[in-house]
């Protein structure tokens, strides 16, 4: 089944009682001034919906998403105004449900009772970390316990749940990233999004960065930590809906980014790194199983290994600028590699066999 068409309607940073250290005040002020009265906002919403519906194609489901702010923390009258503005499309069957992103500490029975009858079906929590020390340093204004309570409440109300987490927060590290992913899998969210923390101009983090108080992750570190989180989520059956920050979400002006592990294809880097690891495991297995290789010496006379992937994963296997292939050649100096496209494999699978020996 094709994924739903998600129509994003941004309410940038609205409804938020806090100012996290990584938030960009200049951006908030500018975007907030662009949001006008309810009437004009309803018009803006209508305009966005009409534009996106043109791209529905053959997708059977359409969801309207209130992103970019703390939706359930808005004033009740504002929440109602926005939800009511979507109803004509829901009644006509053109939009099937509503989703929103929100802070864990604004999820209450009252606000869920208010929103659910209007078609709210999915809530994404801005969790960021499950380490209270890290949350305090980032001045998030909520705790990991708030996340646990919010998740329980959302599930009790039959809502689909997503969690948004960050790598590279002040005071966080590899261990913290792993802990956050593991703690979240215990709460059984339906999906996760992982973002690397970037230093944006106008944020307090930018001041910390300039004074040396905060050192961002390198791109390599961010990819590695994200890779570990993805692995934990996937092993627990939590799908990873997005990796990396979409350009339009916070980076509409590249000048806003002062430092941090920014890469336009961050998600691809992470998925390529995961596929490299998987390819190595597969190669080790066939070398050990088929020719008794012990993993110390090059495997005898030069051999060719066939790596099979789904056609859509070819670039993932090759890696950015073919770095994975270069690394494979360095890791296995006695081998050459042949890539075969196999439609029947899953998108994130890679199989290996030695040329001339049938795959097991």
**203 DSSP 8-state letter:** S
Closer CB to ligand SF4, residue 203 or residue 225? 203
In 3D, which of 175, 176, 126 has the Cα closest to residue 151?
A: 126
Retrieve residue 346's tokens.
């899953």
Closer CB to ligand SF4, residue 216 or residue 299? 216
**Smallest separation (angstroms) from ligand SF4 to the CB of 68:** 8
**Smallest separation (angstroms) from ligand SF4 to the CB of 258:** 16
**Smallest separation (angstroms) from ligand SF4 to the CB of 45:** 20
List helix spans (H) across 157-218.
Answer: 174-186, 204-211
Q: 257: buried, middle or exposed (CB in 10 Å: 19+, 13-18, 0-12)?
A: middle
Closer CB to ligand SF4, residue 23 or residue 354? 23
Strand 335-341 to 239-243 pairing:
unpaired
**Smallest separation (angstroms) from ligand SF4 to the CB of 181:** 20
User: What 3-state DSSP class applies to 243?
Assistant: strand
**Smallest separation (angstroms) from ligand SF4 to the CB of 128:** 8
Closer CB to ligand SF4, residue 15 or residue 119? 15
In 3D, which of 52, 112, 124 has the Cα closest to residue 76?
A: 112
DSSP result, 302-325: -EEEEEEE-GGGHHHHH-GGGHHH
User: What 3-state DSSP class applies to 296?
Assistant: coil
Closer CB to ligand SF4, residue 70 or residue 225? 70
Q: 150: buried, middle or exposed (CB in 10 Å: 19+, 13-18, 0-12)?
A: buried
User: What 3-state DSSP class applies to 195?
Assistant: strand
Closer CB to ligand SF4, residue 135 or residue 352? 135
Cβ(41)–Cβ(35) under 8 Å?
Answer: yes
**Smallest separation (angstroms) from ligand SF4 to the CB of 64:** 20
**Smallest separation (angstroms) from ligand SF4 to the CB of 158:** 25
In 3-state terms the chain splits into helix, strand, coil percentages (rounded to 5) of 45, 20, 35
**Smallest separation (angstroms) from ligand SF4 to the CB of 18:** 5
Closer CB to ligand SF4, residue 119 or residue 126? 126
Chain residues in the site for ligand SF4 (CB under 6 A): 13, 16, 18-20, 23, 70, 103, 126
Closer CB to ligand SF4, residue 103 or residue 353? 103
Integer Cα distance of 346 and 262 in angstroms: 29
């Amino acid at each position: 089944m094709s994924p739903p068409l998600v129509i994003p309607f941004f309410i940038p940073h609205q409804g938020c009682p806090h100012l996290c250290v990584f938030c960009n005040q200049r951006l908030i002020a500018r975007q907030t001034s662009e949001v006008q009265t309810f009437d004009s906002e309803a018009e803006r919403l209508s305009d966005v919906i009409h534009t996106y519906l043109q791209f529905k194609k053959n997708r059977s489901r359409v969801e309207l998403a209130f992103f970019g702010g703390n939706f359930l923390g808005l004033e009740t009258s504002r929440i109602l105004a926005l939800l009511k503005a979507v109803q004509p499309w829901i009644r006509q069957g053109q939009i099937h449900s509503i989703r929103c992103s929100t802070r864990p500490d604004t999820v209450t029975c009252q606000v869920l009772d208010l929103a659910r009858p209007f078609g709210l079906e999915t809530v994404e929590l801005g969790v960021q970390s499950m380490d209270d020390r890290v949350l305090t340093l980032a001045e998030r204004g909520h705790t990991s316990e708030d996340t646990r309570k919010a998740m329980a409440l959302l599930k009790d109300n039959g809502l689909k749940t997503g969690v948004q987490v960050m790598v590279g927060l002040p005071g966080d590290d590899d261990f913290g990233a792993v802990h956050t992913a593991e703690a979240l899998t215990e709460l059984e969210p339906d999906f996760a999004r992982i973002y690397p923390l970037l230093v944006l101009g106008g944020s307090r983090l930018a001041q910390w960065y300039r004074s040396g108080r905060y050192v961002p992750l390198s791109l390599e570190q961010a990819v590695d930590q994200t890779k570990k989180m993805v692995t934990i989520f996937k092993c627990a059956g939590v799908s990873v809906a997005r990796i990396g920050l979409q350009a339009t979400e916070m980076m509409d002006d590249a000048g806003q980014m002062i430092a941090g592990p920014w890469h336009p294809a961050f998600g691809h880097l992470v998925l390529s790194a995961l596929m490299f690891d998987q390819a190595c495991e597969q190669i080790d297995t066939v070398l050990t199983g088929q020719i008794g290789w012990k993993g110390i010496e090059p495997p005898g006379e030069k051999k060719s290994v066939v790596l099979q992937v789904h056609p859509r994963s070819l670039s993932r296997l090759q890696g950015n600028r073919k770095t994975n292939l270069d690394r494979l050649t360095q890791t296995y100096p006695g081998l050459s590699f042949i890539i075969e496209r196999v439609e029947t494999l899953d998108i994130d699978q890679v199989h290996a066999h030695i040329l001339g020996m049938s795959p097991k």
